[in-house]
Amino acid sequence: MRPRIATLDFARGIAILGILLLNISSFGLPKAAYLNPAYAGEPSASNAWTWAILDVVAQGKFLMMFAMLFGGGLYLLLPRGKAWIQSRLSLLLLCGLIHAIFFWDGDILLSYGLIGLVFWRLIRDAKSNASLFRTGVVLYLAGVGILVLLGLISSPDPGGYWLPGYAELQYEQFWRLKGGIEAINNRLDLLSSSLISVAVQYGWELGGAMLMGASLMRSGWLKGQFSPAHYLQLAAILLPFSLAIQIPAVVFAWHTGWSYRWSGFYLQAPREIGALMQAVGYLALCYGFWPQLVKQRWVYRISQVGRMALTHYLLQTLICTFFFNTLGFYEHFNRLQLVALVPAVWAINLAVTRVWLRYFRQGPMEWLWRKLTAQAAGESHHGTH
């Protein structure tokens, strides 16, 4: 096993915990609520403000952070060879498929596995670090451009996924709480539409972020090989600039009453560009402040969560689907109250990590993933687990 990069584990832990700030609304509210705070009419002030603040601080940021770290991880795996990488990504794709069909419709693992399989060769074959980074930027901007294009050709009538009717909301509540085959059929429908979205638009952004992450790893940036001053200066440039792009877009979306075409497409474009800059800015903060952070106990705990990122992502699903669907707390909380529940889930993540890593070197899902990858890649030796 290669030695772990502590900063990388910390950044991955921050990303996994941060993703829940957005995902919690997908667990506790109808699907339409994720992007549209006015999905059921005029939102209350607290709902609108919670949406706006989360949109600026978290929406897309932690996912892009995670995508870049994922791309960096793919670069580190290159010495393992083609069979190992393809087996590893195929198993992730399979895990995502099971997760999306049987557990939760907000899965990201399937997309990461799929896009990783499509783009990993670009990481391997890149002539130079600069060309790898440029390709990533071009792909990401292509995804943003497609988003604007989709806005131009989209129907002005948004349909149920943006503005569901009363009957649609009632039915969604019914299948989420009932579970079983009814829920599986609905999750399959949602999976097919999300795969179309990945193929047409989102996959370009995800692939672009992965290539940029691989480039940052190749240059040593994601290994923490630059000076703390470099990272902090970069954060000081990127974070204010990303906010300057996004805040007007969020304000304007609010003023249009979250109209489908504006809020869903045109104003989403500057927020997507800002999200990428902010993700790099957040990473730069982690690395820039690392000499001070490394001494903190809580930082060590979050780094341990990063070591078990796959386990914790799936654990969050199990906790939230049990609470909202099995126990029936779906639609019992508004947006602000849902965010207030997030630290309780984080506490479980941290407690599980602390107990598990006392006895084992890897998370259970990480161990299984590695073992199955070794078998699928045809390795005769299994290495240490």
Q: What is the pLDDT of residue 40?
A: 87
**Does 255 reside within a domain?**
yes
**Does 374 reside within a domain?**
no
CA distance 14 to 191: 27
**Does 372 reside within a domain?**
no
pTM: 0.94
Q: Which domain holds residue 138?
A: 6-359
**Domains contained in the chain, number:** 1
**Does 298 reside within a domain?**
yes
Q: What is the pLDDT of residue 385?
A: 38
Low-confidence ranges of the chain (pLDDT < 50): 1, 380-385
CA distance 199 to 196: 5
Q: What is the pLDDT of residues 157-190, one digit of tens each?
A: 777 778 898 999 999 999 999 999 999 999 999 9
**Does 279 reside within a domain?**
yes
**Does 341 reside within a domain?**
yes
Q: What is the pLDDT of residue 384?
A: 39
User: Which is nearest to 151 in space by CA: 276, 267, 274, 31?
Assistant: 267
**Does 364 reside within a domain?**
no
**Does 135 reside within a domain?**
yes
DSSP assignment string, 314-331: HHHHHHHHIIIIIS--TT
Q: What is the pLDDT of residue 158?
A: 75
Q: What would the two tokens of residue 236 be?
A: 């000081």
Q: What is the pLDDT of residue 2?
A: 54
